[in-house]
Amino acid sequence: MAIAIDPIARGQAKNAIKIKAAHKFIDNAARDAYFTANPTELKDGIYVTAGGVLYEYTNNIWDIRIGGGINSNTALKNEENIFSKKQIFNQGVLSTKYEFVNNTIEVNESTTLSFEHISKLLKCVNTSNITITIPNDTSLKFPNETLIEILKYGDGEVSIVSSAGVIINSVNNFKNIADKYSAISLKKMGDNEWLLIGNLKE
């Protein structure tokens, strides 16, 4: 299904949103399998989480509503509600709270980017060499303007590689993080096109 980004992404939920426990999925494949088996539940205006990202189903597509700032582990502390960093709706009472949101994901092996990495810092603690792979839009279409940061925190090399058909633009075509404790940024510029900037080497 097509996916579109919403202006209130990155954890800026304006209102508390009720979501059924049955509509919290480990990934998009689990979500799609569920609604294939339960088509009567697929209606405009329903919200689900998949892979730590909040989606709303509208006009026959899944729109991203919250990504990279609120995930199923940090936000869904109350079984019936999703809340923003500042507002929580609980038992009919709206109150203000400040919640710690962990935007760092630890990586110790080769990884293919997924929606859970949007707006996150991938902290690579590997001791052996690993690769971070950008998937083709046909397998996983990130919204344009997606930003992902990658930090070399271990002794192993970290290389950014592309799936077939994906273009990575970088200075001198360098795609390896240069030094320990240095970082790079990946930004999606268009269909199957990413920009890679930061402390890089050949």
What is the third-level CATH fold of 104-201? Answer: Jelly Rolls (2.60.120)
Which tokens in the block code for residue 122? 């991938």
| The pLDDT of residue 136 | 95
Mean pLDDT by 10 residues, the chain (202 residues): 38 54 84 86 85 78 57 34 39 47 86 91 96 94 92 96 96 96 95 96 93
What are the structural domain ranges in the chain?
3-96, 104-201
Nearest residue to 188 via CA among 25, 21, 95, 67? 67
Q: Are strands 81-82 and 193-198 parallel, antiparallel or unpaired?
A: unpaired
| The pLDDT of residue 133 | 97
| The pLDDT of residue 16 | 52
Amino acid identity, residue 91? Q
Question: Rounded to two decimals, what is the model's pTM?
Answer: 0.55
Amino acid identity, residue 19? I
Amino acid identity, residue 81? N
Helix or strand holding residue 31 (H, E): helix 28-37
| The pLDDT of residue 17 | 60
Nearest residue to 140 via CA among 35, 28, 20, 24? 28
